[in-house]
Structure 1
Amino acid sequence: MDEKPPHAAPAPGSMDRSRMRFYIETYGCAANRGNSEAFASALVEAGHRRSSQEEADLVIVNTCAVTERTERDIRRRLSELQGERLIVAGCLPSAIPEAVRDLRCREVLGILSAPSGRRIGEAFPPEPELAGSGRMTRDLCAVVNISEGCLGSCSYCIVRRARGPLRSRTVQEVAEEVRRRLKEGAVEVQLASQDAAAYGLDLGSSLPELIDAVAEIEGDFRIRVGMMNPGQVKPILEELIRSYDDPKVYKFLHLPVQSGSAEVLRSMRRGYTPQDFLSMAARLRAAFPGLTLYTDVIAGHPGEREEDFAATEELIKKAEPDKVNVTMYSSRPGTEASRLKDMPSRLKKDRSRRMTRLWKEIAGRRNGRYLGEEIIAQVTEMGRGGTVMARSANYRKIVVNEPLPLGSVHRFKIVRTTPFYLKGEAIIRE
């Protein structure tokens, strides 16, 4: 969507072209971060500079519309930023254009991309001294989007309305971007999309084929595969396990279950059963015993009874995920579920709290097994207060209170554990 709000500020090009500095604020999923990175890279290639919000000539907000609360928070933020510097982009204007219609801003975009970045960049020819400005970063993680849209028809989800049907990039296109990001210094490549397991189904390709191609690229780096819906994992499970066996692939799985009730999953139109999820998770953990498993749960979907939520709690106890992203059901305009009767907020909040307590207890116990262990991990991100964050082969987060260089690999002794991360001390440099 490229429509301009009725009260838009002057068109790009009217500002002082010698000062084109930009700031991007991103909300939502890894795919949104990948969209922002592609857009920013196009601007940098055109000679423009990243900057702080205060110094920026353009402030780009890449929005999310996944829940009502997220939409409300972002609309409040957009209201604070509105003016001639602001560009609004992402899922909110794509899925709910009326949400930004009265906002004062320079331009409204849809999903960010390299082409939209080039178009904006061309409107601001830079002065020679600005050309070639690098990217500001506090980590060595590159998010590479492998597709847009999805094949799902989930009754509660607005993402397909925002991003459309599945459109995969070719294996060659993804590999080329990975090589470019590695040259920029990345040591972690995150393959992101709305459903990584659906990758290539519109091209006659597959996710395992893509993983194999990326893993063959020369260089010392790791691959993190993004969220995969169980319904699309099932037909490629054995090939996926074969691809995951490559040492470059983090032993990490984000497999969202959403509910442990077969009836609720049918209402959600998820396309799998609770037992399907448990079987897939068990098969992958059998292949990779140290696998880190993330999942998602929606608390309070319309029609969810107490026994349905109790079934979800039992499923989580059986699966023992290392993290559960808990979301209270939120009605989204235009979705099938929005026509159903919503349940009281107090019930959704209660179930959300119960699930959060449960997964933290499980995660604390699972992380506790690492206390006193020695783990080899690579420093990938800067933390707060002089700390850094390292990732192990199974994508465990290790927080280190030492100023170790980004990209360096160390052996860490785990001296403390929490449900969220491990605390490590470097003992031997590899």
Structure 2
Amino acid sequence: MEDIEDVIASGAPPGLRLPITAVRIKPRRKSNARLVPDPIHPSPQIPGIQSIYMKTFGCSHNQSDSEYMAGQLHAFGYGLTNNPEEADLWLINTCTVKSPSQSAMETLISKCKDAKKPLVVAGCVPQGSRDLKELEGISVVGVQQIDRVVEVVEETLKGHEVRLLSRKTLPMLDLPKVRKNKFVEILPINVGCLGACTYCKTKHARGHLGSYAVESLVERLKTVLSEGVKEIWLSSEDTGAYGRDIGVNLPILLNALIAELPADRSTMLRIGMTNPPFILEHLEEIAKALRHPCVYSFLHVPVQSGSDAVLDVMNREYTVSDFRTVVDTLTKLVPEMQIATDVICGFPGETDEDFAQTIALIKDYQFPQVHISQFYPRPGTPAARMKKVPSAKVKHRSRELTSIFESFNPYKGMEGRIERIWITEIAADGIHLVGHTKGYVQVLIVAPQSFIGTSTEVKITSVGRWSVFGEVIKVPKEVEGKVCQLNSTAAHSPASITCSTKSGSHKTAFVLCDCSSDLECCSKTIETSKDKADNKHKEAAGPCTGINGRERTLISYISSVLQKRRVNGPDRDNRDAIWKFKNTKEVPNRSIRVDLNTLDKVLLGGVIVSLVVIFVVLTLLCKTFSS
């Protein structure tokens, strides 16, 4: 089937619902001539009442595209669900960078067909591989056609196969958007790139460089700031190439965006991935932007190989010396500078000597983040026709480099430092909150969910390989009056909180929920004595009720069970009730408090009754045998 070209005159609002006649459609063929009800596509369809399941693969740019598509579908009344079984249609946004991502897409397409669900496939795979067998009979929408996803969904629900792949203009930035994280805006500044890497399939999909105007990006920044966004990621296939097609450059854009950021540093800017060739001439200006208080001192600069011979075959258009110049200059000019990089193991023609040079480069810099991948030949690329390195050797090199990288301790020496962090999300464990330092070091803290979207000061208590742990020492001004004031304590002990109440002030180990409007503490908090030898527990004064040592043993055990159930169960989002302090080292007699809901109280009551019954039965048995 031929691609469906745009038929709206220039100037029409992107995302506008088009009449059916504006889209050429291909009805699905029926296996017989009789008119029978179609269980998959009941007719007639009422547009805008169905639910959509969306799955996104790939980079942050893909994530932004998905958020734009979700926004348009939501604006037209469609529901968005995380449950594929209850959805009326599946929408898969694909990535073509690696074989595993495409294989995962193919598996999901197969599951969708088995579930007899209508399907729309978007993203780089259909755009870069239009004749892919797996896409036969499936509606597709290209990377520059995301503003017309509503049309594609509507026609697909009616049983039609729709293809929208070709366009010469970029989607508008002011389309409706549903962010995955309401505090993080992924802002695409350009699409495509100027490179011609021999292994890359993305350019087949995203095309040549196309940059958004500085004015458009500034307006978008102002809009998202008014919506409460606290972190802005500049995203593209190559941030450093921005503007070369429209007569500007990345430093010009950065200066314009930085000028609009709040002076109180409540919102931070993160510069996206950039290849070395296009920032070499702007290094000092880039460094100046990275030093700004509202810009993370972090940059993702892929090297891919430590061998000039391999870089030449890759057609990367820079040398290892160029890469070192980028890293050395930024590290010298930007305090706390953190640089992440990428490496491909086993590229065609890579010798043992080439790989040894890569190892030497990684050892020299000990980058905190290195994305290590094995070479995957992408159909249609020059590298796919090159002689491959044996698979066993590729896997061995990947494991060896990974082992070397994991031996580094990039955050050593951070213990005890006071850092300002910006908190934007909940950690995968469902317990900690995730914040980042100015250098974009990930910091895990224990705090109420109300801290998300704020910045605060923390003391680094311990460091791990991938992140560090911090202790909040200052309540963010945005939540002052909602929580008690946090005060740091000795190393490896829970944070203490000073609670100002009607009966005076006192300290407790920590609270598990926000305090009330009059700053009274939540009930049943525990304070552990510093004297661990006598293991005495003080009772908190005022409205904070103490718990004695015997009760603590039972409740500590039960609370751990309840917390695990809550984190892994349906109440996972109710994290304000789980202020669980977690360190890399065990702390004897750690204070624990549980904020029980109704079900928890029933379970706890059942446990207590069971224990009482067992005790009574054992007592009666003992009396019987003794008599």
Do Structure 1 and Structure 2 share a fold, with TM-score over 0.5?
yes
| Residue identity opposite 2:444 in structure 1 | V
Does 2:119 correspond to 1:75?
no
Q: Distance in 1 between matches of 2:462 and 2:182?
A: 23
Does 2:418 correspond to 1:374?
yes
| Conservation of the 8 A alpha-carbon contact between 2:190 and 2:211 | yes
State the shift of 1:7 in Å.
Answer: 5.2
Q: Distance in 2 between matches of 1:113 and 1:211?
A: 27
Normalised TM-score (structure 1) = 0.90
State the shift of 1:420 in Å.
Answer: 1.3
Gaps in structure 2 of 5+ consecutive residues: 5-23, 30-37, 157-175, 477-627
- SS at the partner of 1:308? helix
- SS at the partner of 1:293? strand
State the shift of 1:305 in Å.
Answer: 0.2
C-alpha distance after superposition, 1:330-387 (max 9, x if no partner): 111111111111111111111111111222222xx21122123221101111223232
| 2:129 aligned residue (96, 99, 112) | 96
Does 2:92 correspond to 1:61?
yes
| Conservation of the 8 A alpha-carbon contact between 1:28 and 1:64 | yes
| Residue identity opposite 1:111 in structure 2 | V
Distance 1:60 1:368, change over 3 A: same
State the shift of 1:296 in Å.
Answer: 0.2
Distance 1:163 1:40, change over 3 A: same
Normalised TM-score (structure 2) = 0.63
Distance 1:374 1:43, change over 3 A: same
Of stretches 207-216 and 301-310 in structure 1, the one that deviates more from structure 2 is 207-216
Note the 1:223-302 alignment, pairs <5 A. Answer: 223-302=269-348
C-alpha distance after superposition, 1:34-80 (max 9, x if no partner): 21122222333444443223443332111111112221122112211
| Residue identity opposite 1:156 in structure 2 | Y
State the shift of 1:101 in Å.
Answer: 4.1
- SS at the partner of 2:148? helix
Q: Distance in 2 between matches of 1:423 and 1:59?
A: 39
Q: Distance in 2 between matches of 1:5 and 1:77?
A: 23
State the shift of 1:18 in Å.
Answer: 5.0
Aligned to 2:183: 140
State the shift of 1:122 in Å.
Answer: 7.7
C-alpha distance after superposition, 1:7-51 (max 9, x if no partner): 589899953435233332111111111211222223334444432
| 2:143 aligned residue (94, 111, 119) | 111
Distance 1:122 1:317, change over 3 A: same
Aligned to 2:58: 28
Q: Distance in 2 between matches of 1:407 and 1:13?
A: 45
Distance 1:5 1:44, change over 3 A: same
% same residue? 32
Aligned to 2:364: 318
Distance 1:376 1:18, change over 3 A: same
Of stretches 188-197 and 394-403 in structure 1, the one that deviates more from structure 2 is 394-403
Distance 1:150 1:352, change over 3 A: same
- SS at the partner of 1:429? coil
Q: Distance in 1 between matches of 2:317 and 2:440?
A: 28
| Conservation of the 8 A alpha-carbon contact between 1:35 and 1:112 | no
Q: Distance in 2 between matches of 1:286 and 1:325?
A: 23
Aligned to 2:259: 216
Distance 1:254 1:209, change over 3 A: same
| Residue identity opposite 1:376 in structure 2 | R
Of stretches 420-429 and 48-57 in structure 1, the one that deviates more from structure 2 is 48-57
Size of the aligned set, in residue pairs, is 420
- SS at the partner of 1:93? helix
Distance 1:112 1:343, change over 3 A: same
Distance 1:25 1:202, change over 3 A: same
Q: Distance in 2 between matches of 1:236 and 1:134?
A: 33
State the shift of 1:327 in Å.
Answer: 1.0
Does 2:376 correspond to 1:330?
yes
Note the 1:179-198 alignment, pairs <5 A. Answer: 179-198=222-241
Of stretches 209-218 and 280-289 in structure 1, the one that deviates more from structure 2 is 209-218
| Residue identity opposite 1:109 in structure 2 | V
Distance 1:420 1:19, change over 3 A: same
Of stretches 178-187 and 326-335 in structure 1, the one that deviates more from structure 2 is 178-187
Does 2:222 correspond to 1:176?
no
Deviant stretches of 4+, over 6 Å: 3-6, 8-13, 121-124
Aligned to 1:128: none
Whose relative contact order is higher, 1 or 2, with alpha carbons under 8 Å and at least 6 apart? Answer: 1
Does 2:77 correspond to 1:50?
no
Q: Distance in 2 between matches of 1:211 and 1:92?
A: 31
Aligned to 2:565: none
Distance 1:400 1:14, change over 3 A: farther
| 1:349 aligned residue (391, 395, 407) | 395
| Conservation of the 8 A alpha-carbon contact between 2:95 and 2:101 | yes
State the shift of 1:207 in Å.
Answer: 0.9
- SS at the partner of 1:214? helix
**C-alpha RMSD over aligned residues:** 2.7
| Residue identity opposite 2:108 in structure 1 | R
| 2:456 aligned residue (404, 407, 410) | 410
Of stretches 133-142 and 250-259 in structure 1, the one that deviates more from structure 2 is 133-142
Distance 1:192 1:136, change over 3 A: closer
Aligned to 1:397: 442
State the shift of 1:308 in Å.
Answer: 0.2
Does 2:469 correspond to 1:423?
yes
| Residue identity opposite 2:439 in structure 1 | N
Gaps in structure 1 of 5+ consecutive residues: 125-132
- SS at the partner of 2:378? coil
Distance 1:51 1:274, change over 3 A: same
State the shift of 1:323 in Å.
Answer: 0.5
| Conservation of the 8 A alpha-carbon contact between 2:106 and 2:134 | no
Q: Distance in 1 between matches of 2:66 and 2:25?
A: 20
| Residue identity opposite 1:51 in structure 2 | T
Aligned to 2:501: none
- SS at the partner of 1:307? helix
| Conservation of the 8 A alpha-carbon contact between 2:340 and 2:368 | yes
Q: Distance in 2 between matches of 1:211 and 1:140?
A: 20
Distance 1:80 1:184, change over 3 A: farther
